[in-house]
Chains A and B, each alone.
Chain A
């Protein structure tokens, strides 16, 4: 459970791997994806090794869709034991690699890769987690968490999907951990903060496996005893619905609370299009007022 420190009998980890070919590090050197994937596989197997009943799922997030890389739906692959390697590890590795190849092959050739739609993969992960919880044998306790490994940047276009996913994870006490391979991800960092997970931007890709093992392998119940990278300050500014930029002063529609207008520079244009972008009353032209009437009416506020 996210906010108490009692150890659980087992733990479920869902790893979301961003496989989008337009991540900067893949464009620079496509082979790096294989290295990252190997690190994720090694990390996943370490998770399975921690406790006998630990469970794992891996979701690949490509630009055209997201898919489970492990477990495979239906019959598991037939793997023979190789050089004394634990069969399950071979199965995990083989399944992930085979299904990733299929996922990449299914990408539409004519479309240019867009942004990675991680919110969809997170929603899948939450469905999976609630199913595993339902099927848990009675008396067994299980903690659940999601780890996102991505080199994409986050844009406010997925803002609502992200927030819905974060609040669901918070309600269901699922931790969201984020390992960023490239840029600072302020939206995903909010998700970590809301759900109590960890956020880390790795300084270099070479040491990825070490970072994963040191920072993200310990379960929630063990983390309080370790010195882990601090969350840092989280930027909770709202994003404007029209320009999707974070702002510190904005106008909010009093019916639906959409942040309709944002920065000072937009103010004039907002006066012109002074209507709510969202509410069904969008035909109503709003008067732009100050804050809700305060008791002592001081000088008329300059907005």
Chain B
């Protein structure tokens, strides 16, 4: 409890971990466990402290994500392979990207066999991207990638998009070589001229041309150290880029197309007229009765979000905005309390508490082999997503037989508002995904978290 003050100047890797090891002494029985546990809980509590500060969300980003599918992705330096690890991380990336950038669009492209092959169109449909990524698991990884073809493709896709929003390319590049048909510098120059920001995450070692690409176009270049570092580099790319953040705070006029076309209003039973949508004008597709009409000028679009080409209005549907509202109304973190019989069962899932009673911290994870050294002394998030992060911690090998482990603690979690008790799994679900306290949301005086505007 006394550990609440956080020194902002201290980096995570500088936090007094060394010091804390000194604090671990054997207790009378010669056991370190109890002391380790106590210390670990303090660290866990610190990690649970929510990030505060104004929320800034990115709007209308257009990000093209290029995934290296060459032979180099077979390498097993991260487990199970570079490719499978990438796919796993990408699922998380896609969800997070749309959480932070609700009106944005994402497109996926594969770099295989010297070609750039489209996997998904630019769109804002989370499930579609995730499904496409999940479908890649058994793909054959052969040949060399071509960075130039990726840039070529990116230019083609991103250039026609409206200029007010960010246009970005992110390449996950494992190969140390690229097989290009021409001079890649011309492409870099073209991307720079078109204001397309390119970033690269290298999975092997630094490659000069990648570095040049990022430098010239104003993007970020990073090379991963291990899977945990990979994850954090990737997730950093979900935050809106500096330029998008610099936009003035303001109120933006936006249209929310009502699905029913004009003619489908009550007392008119005629079929809606067949019209041409604006997004497929060039291709000559998209003729039909379905679509979203701009509420201002009645131009039709077949998918949202979009920007009206006729009147310039940004068009979205309410769920696009709502995906990010949990940033605005975070659930207050639950407090951990010892199980003293104050509640018999978890309010969320009805799990009885007595069978969890007095269980010692348990191991969640076998140490990675070989153990990556840069992870020593650092509290790490457990890579197993089914457990919320503040219940985990990383212990240095010297202090635990068998090396590095994640410790999980079983205590009760109590909501400070509705006073209901939850098991640690429900507490994890509420803080990581649900963002609604089941107890509060069912109480008339607690359910609303809207600001009082009356």
Contact = CB atoms under 8 A, between A and B. Distances in A.
Contacts, number: 268
Contact of A164 (B56, B257, B311, B434): B434
Chain B, interface size: which category? 35 or more
Contacts of A157: 447-448, 450
Contact of B323 (A114, A124, A167, A301): A167
Interface in B203-262: 247-260
Nearest to A258: B328
A163 B449 CA distance: 13
A268 B59 CA distance: 26
Contact of A250 (B54, B256, B436): B256
A120 interface: yes
Interface in A225-251: 233-239, 241-242, 247-251
Interface of B is mostly: loop
A22 interface: no
B325 to A, nearest CB: 5
Contacts of A78: none
A142 to B, nearest CB: 15
Contact of A68 (B254, B319, B350, B448): B350
B321 to A, nearest CB: 5
Nearest to A121: B442
Interface stretch (A34-42, A88-96, A176-184, A278-286): A278-286
B322 A160 contact: yes
A290 to B, nearest CB: 6
A134 B450 contact: no
B157 interface: no
A130 B423 CA distance: 12
A64 interface: yes
A256 B328 contact: yes
Interface string B412-441: 000000000010011001100111111111
A255 B433 contact: no
B164 A292 contact: yes
Interface in A268-303: 274, 276-281, 284, 286-295, 298, 301, 303
Nearest to A57: B350
B125 to A, nearest CB: 12
A260 B254 CA distance: 11
Contacts of B264: 233
Interface string B285-328: 00000000001100000000001000111101111011111111
A74 interface: yes
Given A119-B436, A171-B433, A291 B307 contact: yes
B251 A274 contact: yes
A249 B312 CA distance: 13
Given A131-B425, A258-B328, A252 B441 contact: no
A279 B252 contact: no
A258 B393 CA distance: 36
A289 B250 contact: yes
A73 B256 contact: no
Nearest to B59: A254
